[in-house]
Structure 1
Amino acid sequence: MIEPHPSGGYIFDELVVGMTAEKRVTVTEERIGQFAEASDDFNPLHMDTAFAARTAYRGRIAHGLLSASFGSAVVGTILPGAGAIYLGQTLNFYRPVRIGDVVVARVTVAALDEAAARVVLRCEAYVGDDLVMDGDATVRVPRRRRPRHGADG
């Protein structure tokens, strides 16, 4: 498991297939509400206990894209980190995520395209031992760091 780079992000030449990073996030009522506000997705399956109780899920579930956003947080803050630009993402959902679940979002470098400075990242999310979501992200990564400018810079 790697840690965030001291600069905030890894450049292309520092990445190696197999590098992995993860983030643990607890799904809360507040997070679901904030995600609904941000996305404008107020599906009663996510928001209404009585409605959700009458569905096949027998209760409220978190937005699938909320769980996917935890993977995005890994990409943007740890691996590759600051400077990574999303170009595409595939997603597959296997199990619902519920309030109180701890989601472990794991991102692994799967392939490197030197010519385009693109990286394919395998993205997975688990609740306990259960895979709840997976997919592949393609991101562009900087080839070099920009110099930091000081106050007189």
Structure 2
Amino acid sequence: MVELVQQHPSGGYILDELHVGMAAEKIVVATEDRIRLFAEASDDFNPVHLDEAFASKTAYRGRIAHGLLSASFGSAVVGTILPGAGSIYISQTLAFHQPVRIDDVVRILITVIEVEAESARVKLSCEGFVGETMIMDGVAVVRVPRRRKPSQR
């Protein structure tokens, strides 16, 4: 059973608070600005992402967002909601199933599928959807804090 959670009041969940079935989601729009800024940040100026004339002649028949831009929406969930602040990516597998187009609304769903107490790591199912269509999926391994640091106040 999936239990949708919100961001922890402290900003992040610790190992003892995580269990299989916890999930979080985020809705992000793949805007023109996001695509342009991602191209600048990643130095990936492939014209399939930026040039409509070029992209219209490809198999996609128009511009598409960078796959890793869509994947970064999942990173936003992992880093800010589940597990949240203090979590560190160890690895990520990804499979892209459908392209994301300009102004598509992407829903990211991150679900805890395994908690490894000894290593303080969790495995997360990472899925992305546009409407009901799965656009990508994979599994992330993330290290999470065992305890919260005391307040500096």
TM-score (norm 2): 0.97
CA distance in 2, matches of 1:86, 1:28: 26
Distance, in Å, in 2 between the alignment partners of 1:36 and 1:148 is 38
Deviations 1:3-49 (Å, cap 9, x if unpaired)? 00000000000001000000000111000000000000000000000
2:78 maps to which of 75, 78, 87: 75
Code of the aligned partner of 1:128: G
Match of 2:148 among 134, 138, 145: 145
Q: State yes or no: 1:9 paired with 2:12.
A: yes
Which of the residues 60, 67, 83 maps onto 1:64?
A: 67
1:88 aligns with 2:91: yes
Query: C-alpha separation between the residues in 2 aligned to 1:83 and 1:148?
Result: 14
- Asked if 1:131 corresponds to 2:134, the answer is yes
Equivalent-residue separation in structure 2 for 1:46 and 1:24 (angstroms): 21
List structure 1 segments (4+ residues) > 6 angstroms apart after TM superposition: none
Q: Report the Cα distance in structure 1 between the residues aligned to 2:31 and 2:86, rounded to whole angstroms.
A: 29
What is residue 52 of structure 2 aligned with on the other side? 49
Of the three residues 98, 105, 111, the one matched with 1:102 is: 105
Give distance in 2, aligned partners of 1:7 and 1:117.
18
The 3-state SS of whatever aligns with 1:121 is strand
Cα distance, 1:53 vs structure 2: 0.2
Look up the equivalent residue of 1:129 and give its one-letter code: E
- Note the alpha carbon deviations across 1:24-78, whole angstroms, 9 max, x for none: 0011100000000000000000000000000000000000000000000000000
State how many pairs are aligned.
150
> Any unmatched runs of 5+ in structure 1?
none
Give the partner amino acid of 1:57: Y
Q: Where does structure 2 lack aligned partners over 5 or more consecutive residues?
A: none
